[in-house]
Amino acid sequence: MDETLTNHLVELIKRASTDLPPDVVQALREAKDKEPAGSMPANTFETVLKNIEMAKGAATPICQDTGMLVFYVYHPLNTDTIAFRRQVEDAAKTATQNILLRPNAVDPVTGKNSGSNVGINAPYVTFKPWEKDEILVKLMLKGGGSENVGKQYTLPDSRLGAGRDLKGVRKVILDAVFSAQGKGCGPGTVSVGIGGDRGTAYLLSKEQLFRKIGSTNPDSELAALEDQLHEELNSLGIGPMGFGGKTTVLDVYLAKQHRHPATFYVSVSYICWAYRRKAMTLKNGEVTYHD
């Protein structure tokens, strides 16, 4: 595989770490405009937006927690995924040396930080073969604070009176965001995986975070529930950082997959206002970067 791939991956990491996608910035601006001038929520959004502008101008990380690297790689069948992963790891090491990333890979037994963002299953890389003749690399930098407020539910849930249907799904999502109470650096974006097993439910939920804010779910029933939840969650009044206000979440994404008859999992993932995601396409030796 072309040795320059590592350099392209470093550039992808740099863009994700220092420059938020336009749809996220626009959503934050709109949220600020909804609040009374001089109020705590408005001032919070003003600080966030100034931080975004400064980070982009100086090409420095938007947040001191540069997160864990989550890659989804869509590739032709003949791609050497072993070599590709090595280059992802090399890129992570280089980006860490260049202070684009904070060292965030810690051995859970020894407590030792690898110092390079590389370790066992770090970075996280999911390879997805497809029939196209190009490689699409999607990267998300997932902060620890937002990861901590994610939740998984098993339906039925007697505590919440949530059954095995979309009404039950709605109840547990409301509970997850209400329980967070602004933790995880809100306002955030909520993504939900419905069905599957415990592991694939979370994977499905996180993959939805590559959607753009304001995008429409192709499933009409899920799209209607997304709109309902977006309105209901923002009516909770939790607001940015829990300071109150009209915007508790920027958007809500739902996705489903088939489940075993005995199980019904709902996995809720959350990403903070520093909604860092970028992508790049490799085709015929050319590289194109995407927001």
Q: What is the pLDDT of residues 245-289, one digit of tens each?
A: 999 999 999 999 999 999 999 999 999 999 999 999 999 989 999
Examine residue 217 and state whether it is found in any structural domain, yes or no.
yes
Sheet with 286-290, strands from edge to edge, namely 124-129, 68-75, 135-142, 276-283, 286-290
Examine residue 125 and state whether it is found in any structural domain, yes or no.
yes
pLDDT of 225 = 98
Does residue 266 share a domain with residue 151?
A: yes
* Distance, CA of 192 to CA of 253 (rounded, Å): 6
pLDDT of 182 = 87
**245: alpha, beta or left, given left = phi > 0 and alpha = psi -120 to 50?**
left
Q: Report whether pLDDT(127) > 60.
A: yes
Q: How many CB atoms lie within 10 A of CB 151?
A: 17
Residues 6+ apart with CB under 8 A from 153: 162, 172, 175, 176, 265, 266, 267, 268
Examine residue 47 and state whether it is found in any structural domain, yes or no.
no
Does residue 120 share a domain with residue 88?
A: yes
Q: How many CB atoms lie within 10 A of CB 18?
A: 19
Q: What is the average pLDDT score of the chain? A: 96
C-alpha dist (Å) from residue 1 to 6, 87, 93, 129, 285 = 10, 9, 19, 16, 11
- In 98-190, where does DSSP find H-type helix? 144-148, 166-180
pLDDT of 47 = 97
* Distance, CA of 145 to CA of 29 (rounded, Å): 22
Does residue 266 share a domain with residue 158?
A: yes
Does residue 12 share a domain with residue 136?
A: yes
Token look-up 């939790």 returns 238
Please give the residue range of the domain that contains residue 74: 5-16+62-143+276-290
Examine residue 130 and state whether it is found in any structural domain, yes or no.
yes
Examine residue 46 and state whether it is found in any structural domain, yes or no.
no
pLDDT of 196 = 97
Q: Tens of pLDDT along 56-78? A: 999 999 999 999 999 999 999 99
The mean pLDDT of 91-116, rounded to a whole number, is 98
Does residue 257 share a domain with residue 159?
A: yes
* Distance, CA of 269 to CA of 263 (rounded, Å): 19
Domain CATH for 125: 3.30.360
**Domain count for the chain:** 2
C-alpha dist (Å) from residue 21 to 25, 27, 65, 184, 281 = 7, 10, 18, 19, 16
CA dihedral 191→126→67→110, nearest 10 degrees, is 120
Does residue 157 share a domain with residue 131?
A: no
Does residue 267 share a domain with residue 232?
A: yes
Which of 2-16, 101-115, 205-219, 236-250 is the least confident region?
A: 2-16
Strands 265-271 and 188-194: antiparallel
Examine residue 88 and state whether it is found in any structural domain, yes or no.
yes
Does residue 66 share a domain with residue 111?
A: yes
Q: Report whether pLDDT(1) > 70.
A: no
Examine residue 203 and state whether it is found in any structural domain, yes or no.
yes
pLDDT of 2 = 59
Amino acid at 113: N
Examine residue 39 and state whether it is found in any structural domain, yes or no.
no
Token look-up 């600080």 returns 47
The mean pLDDT of 205-222, rounded to a whole number, is 97
The mean pLDDT of 71-90, rounded to a whole number, is 96
215: which 2 tokens? 């995008």
Does residue 154 share a domain with residue 111?
A: no
Does residue 265 share a domain with residue 149?
A: yes
C-alpha dist (Å) from residue 91 to 41, 51, 79, 123, 280 = 38, 26, 18, 10, 14
Does residue 263 share a domain with residue 196?
A: yes
Does residue 133 share a domain with residue 102?
A: yes
